[in-house]
Structure 1
Amino acid sequence: MRLNGFIDLLFPPVCPLCEEAFSEREFCAACESALALTRIDGPACNVCGCPFISASSGPHTCGTCLKEPPPYLQAVSACRYEGKMRDAIHAFKFNAQVHLAAGLASIAETAARFNIRPQIIMPVPLHISRLRQRGFNQSLLIAAEIAGAHSIPLDYTSITRLRHTAPQSGLKAVDRHLNVKGAFAVTRPDLLKDRHVLLVDDVLTTGSTITECAATLKSAGAAVYVLTLARV
């Protein structure tokens, strides 16, 4: 028996989400099934990614995006923020279960059906005070996994968060927008001009943070695409 097989016999691989022993996949079969129930599979706006209520409507641009186009060209989300996915993101983000990053990133990238190949992958940045408090940027961990898997440059320094903002959760939509207004700045516009940038975040709620961050990147000349693991 080879050493790796012997080690697996003594210490069987466990699911990073439920910690039950399982064969080598990202998650065990039970967790994969529960996570699959949250996938966004139906028709959605081909700009903001908002799912349509009617499954027969087909993909098209929603009225909101037609009336007021966002600063990004396309946004997609892999899952709804509910059930097992909500539990997984909460454990990852707030309980420092960083070992979930690889599995969650593999789920996120299943939604990344863009017409272009990104030239740069960037996470939504945290303010330094929030980074010190949490100890990691969850969006950076997901972005790093995706960038590494596809050999795309990862850039987490060309945009920064200028000020500490109150947590977006619990705020009304209008307050979320005001909370992040002017919160970001590009530090290296020369690296972003005329580049296709994939902006990565964990959860899209009202879209205020993503919109402000994308607008900042667009002002530097970037063509911005958005990928989030889940959306509310």
Structure 2
Amino acid sequence: MPDDISQGDLAGRKGGTYVGTSAATPVSAEAAAVEAVGLAHRVRWTGVWIGLLLVLPIELTLTALVVWIAAPTYGTRLAEVAGIIGFWSALFAVVGVFIGSLVAARLADTTQTASGLWHGIAVWGLAMLGGTVLRSIGSIGRFGYLGTLMGRVPPAFAPTTSPPPAATADVTRALMVTAAWFVIGSVVAFIAALLGGAAGVRHTPKQATS
């Protein structure tokens, strides 16, 4: 066979059609657009909001339940009470964030671990913001109890006299304990959000339906 006969000519003589391929196929504009859309929609906010709606009720309801059941056994020292409230509130926040992140990632119907993690982070951030707002208006929680602590000064010392140093020190210790549990709970809840988001990822791709 002569060397000057191209593959296209050879295919034409045999009645076929030759389709040439280049060594390096560039990424088409359509594929780039699909990739950009996928990145823009990596977080599905419907799932995030539903997950958030699970976090706050779980934390607040379970914390209130513990306060209601265990209140008669609490001591009279504010630091002790703050420690108990802070511990249980932080624990239930971790549980709530994990469940909310798992649900958010599952509803997003994603198979990418990174997407699941982002859903968990979004739930955690909104839960922190929403929890702070609710506690600032008096809801039960790690910071919602601070107003009660600050207001528990014996009436005999107000308003003309200052509280004794022991009472002031007790309130200060209570604030420190509450802040410590808030920090611990927030960090552990962030880890729980990542774990929940990863657990909510769908590991089996959907089967194509005809």
Relative contact order higher in (CA < 8 Å, ≥ 6 apart) = 2
Which structure's residues are more often strand, by fraction? Answer: 1
Please, what TM-score do these two structures have when normalized by structure 1? 0.28
Please, what TM-score do these two structures have when normalized by structure 2? 0.30
Q: Which has the larger radius of gyration?
A: 2
Which structure's residues are more often helix, by fraction? Answer: 2
